[in-house]
Amino acid sequence: MDIPKNIKERYEKLKAEIEEHNYRYYVLADPIISDQEYDKLFKELVELEKKYPELKTPDSPTQRIGGIVVEGFNKVNHSIPMLSLDNTYNEEEILDFHKRVLKNLNLTHVEYFCELKIDGVSVALRYTDGVLTQAITRGDGTTGEDITQNVKTIPSIPLRLRKNLSIEVRGEIYMPKKEFVRINSEREEKGLPVFANPRNATAGTLKLLDSKEVAKRKLSSFMYYVIFPQNYNLETQEEAINFLKEVGFRINPNYKKVEDIGQVIEFWKEWNRRRKELEYEVDGIVVKVNSFELQRVLGETARSPRWAIAFKFEAEQKETKLKAIKLQVGSTGIITPVAEFDPIQLEGTTVKRASLHNFDYIKERDIREGDYVLIEKAGGIIPQVIGPVKEKRTGEEKIIQPPEKCPVCGGKVGKIKSSEVAIRCLNPSCPEKLLRTLENFVSRDAMNIQGLGPKLLKRMVDAGLVKDVADLYYLNDQKIRSLGEGIGDKTVENILTQIEQSKNRELYRLINALGIPNVGLKTAKDLANHFKNLDSLIDAKFDELVEIEGIGEDIANAIIKFFSQEEVKKIVKKLKDAGVNMGKKEEEKSEGPLKGLVICQTGALSKMTRQEFAEYVESKGGTFSENVTKKTNILVVGENPGSKLDKAQSYGITIMSEEEFFDKYGES
């Protein structure tokens, strides 16, 4: 399709405008437009690329959204080794470093450049003519992994530089403290192991195969190193930092050029005191000889540079006595052990409780009731029991055993899947579990029943009005009024109206609302799209479930086990009898050249993301499938295809390249 000149010009202008605003926001911290104005520009760019997919370029800001799924990470050799830093932990050791530098240079004075040591994951970024072409992990220092698609989702990393440079830079990708807390809370609710610290969370995120999932975790970055700085007429680290900012990278503003080692120590003391002010985790400072020429003279060992060292902070830990273990039951029945100990002051707050996460965590660390334990804040935020002070044991400490029954209802407990660390209450009618299940059932992403908050739900449970989620649909005026104080005409009318409206919600909401272990919103949507009605899902066999992309053996087994429970069967029947929608609301398919055809994709397409391709197929009347089955009509093959190609060939499915597909089915 010929694209009008004015459209092309508008597209290029939009890209430039958005990148300028990104630079002002992430690098200069000086935005000049509101979030709403930015969103409006971004939306216009997305719409143009949808209408004219051939406009899209690799440096488009829309490429940050993610959506490319890879089946592994390719190995890439570093242009020069990515070395580690030697560590020092006290003033005596940093003075020894200073003496070695002076001796090796045969000087009496040297200028240092001090930066904060971000506790994240090192990355090398390569740009060709100003466009990001490759992002590589540290790996073993000689060879790393290509994580380009994941790195493209990080807003602070420019897809296009402000100058058309071919350059390699290095820096650190990190997870902000608040995001670390959010993700760990989410993982704990799902029965998944929590991340020990933001660095581990960052590393785990960058290893995800689906860049759209990476984009959901709000990673950020700071760059601090230019490969071959002489190519850009840079003579010092101070000049390199200013250069990085000038060409579009986010740099950490908390740096200082100092004239002697005493000022290095003062810088360390200042940030050791102030580090909790930061929105990211730091574990020390990095001290570098400022001059690149002097760095060259000093050289490197096989492992680390002689011209730089990490001056680490000491993690604040406090000792206290673990008095008791309390067990909490969550919405999916997960039983979480919580340590209660003598109150301590830790980094400015009083701490007297900390989650022990799961019983594997307790066993691995040999934590016992009555132990003296060390407490620190993971990521500087969440109190965490590091381990026991074994030399203080008296022999009266008690080994902590996993519960044999639910601490609330006395019901059976167990694990949903073998790889899961969480122990759960398996009784669907457990009062505590019921309350959490009800909260999930009425939530916005589930049945979206407004007006039924936690306090009101608890009153209903305590009064015996609601013994399972289906009982909500059998509430009436009299039952609700029986709750007494605070329940007026308007409240009753609102609750009953909301409950009635929820009967016709989408199928995926119902699936999400039921509280199937390990089934969240995305999986619920995938199940609804595949099975079309709840009965088909309930009757699904293992082989059919695992064919759905994103559903592995453990999730399939959890679904089958969930619907095999007699209590669940009764709840589903009650919901059905109450008139709750059990089927997918089918939208009438568009007429088009793909009507009646099931299309699947493998590998990355050049014109659009996977999600955009799915929408394109639907707009042409077809059905987009995430996985290859015998019902698939066409497999479209992009760059770096995966195992779907072999599967399609074995089924005799039509295989087309991206070009062939759009030549035949694209707009003229």
CA 607, distance to chain mean position in Å, is: 26
Looking up residue 164, the CATH number of its domain turns out to be 3.30.470.30
Please state, in angstroms and rounded to a whole number, the distance separating the CA atoms of residues 170 and 134: 12
633 located within any domain: yes
DSSP conformational letter for 228: S
What's the distance, Cα to Cα, between the start and end of the chain in Å? 6
Q: In this structure, are 471 and 513 located in the same domain?
A: no
Q: Which residues are annotated as a binding site for Zn(2+)?
A: 406, 409, 425, 430
Same domain (yes/no): 95, 218: yes
Question: Looking at residue 357, which CATH number applies to its domain?
Answer: 2.40.50.140
Same domain, 179 and 113: yes
**pLDDT tens digit string along 495-522?**
999 999 999 999 999 999 998 887 888 7
Based on the domain organization, do 138 and 262 belong to the same domain?
yes
Question: Kind of pairing, strands 654-657 and 634-637?
Answer: parallel
Output the pLDDT for position 35. Answer: 63
CA distances, 272 to each of 108, 197, 199 (Å): 28, 18, 19
Query: Which residues sit in the known binding site?
Result: 35-39, 84-85, 115, 138, 172, 288, 312, 406, 409, 425, 430
CATH of the domain at 650: 3.40.50.10190
Say yes or no: 249 and 387 in one domain: no
- Total number of domains constituting the chain: 6
Looking at the domain assignment, is residue 218 inside a domain? yes
Domain boundary among 477, 502, 527: 502
Q: Are residues 130 and 266 in the same domain?
A: yes
The per-residue pLDDT for 26 is 65
Check which CATH number belongs to the domain holding 435 and give it.
1.10.150.20
- DSSP codes, 36-86: HHHHHHHHHHHHHHHH-GGG--TT-GGGGG---B-SS--EEE-SS--PPPP
pLDDT of residue 182: 87
Asked if the structure places residue 406 within a domain, the reply is no
118 and 244 within one domain:
yes
Same domain, 369 and 441: no
Handedness of CA 212, 214, 220, 222 (dihedral sign): negative
Positions in the chain short of pLDDT 70: 1, 26-27, 29-30, 34-36, 65-71, 315, 347-348, 378-381, 550, 585-591, 611, 640, 667-668
> Is residue 511 domain-shared with residue 490, that is, in the same domain?
no
Tell me if 80 is assigned to some domain: no
Which of 320, 321, 334, 332 lies closest to 402, judged by CA?
A: 334
Is 367 part of a structural domain of the chain? Answer: yes
In a domain, 549, yes or no: yes
Residue 45 domain-assigned (yes or no):
yes
> Dihedral, CA atoms, 562, 565, 571, 575, nearest 10 degrees?
60
Judge if 147 and 247 occupy the same domain: yes
* 50 among known catalytic residues: no
Residue 426: its pLDDT value, please?
87
pTM over 0.85: no
The residue out of 502, 525, 551 marking a domain boundary is 502
Binding-site residues for NAD(+) sit at 35-39, 84-85, 115, 138, 172, 288, 312
Structure tokens at 113: 């450049």
Which of 399, 415, 444 is where one domain is finished?
Answer: 399
Of the residues 15, 117, 212, 607, only one is catalytic, namely 117
| Residue 327 backbone phi and psi in degrees, to 5 | -105, 130
The pLDDT of residue 36:
66
CATH of the domain at 30: 1.10.287.610
Q: Are both 298 and 202 inside the same structural domain?
A: yes
Whether 215 and 105 map to the same domain: the answer is yes
Evaluate whether residue 65 is within a structural domain: no
Distance CA 636, CA 619 (A): 16
Tokens of 627: 């996985």
CB-side neighbour CA atoms (13 Å) of 475? 29
Which residue range(s) make up the domain with 51? 5-56
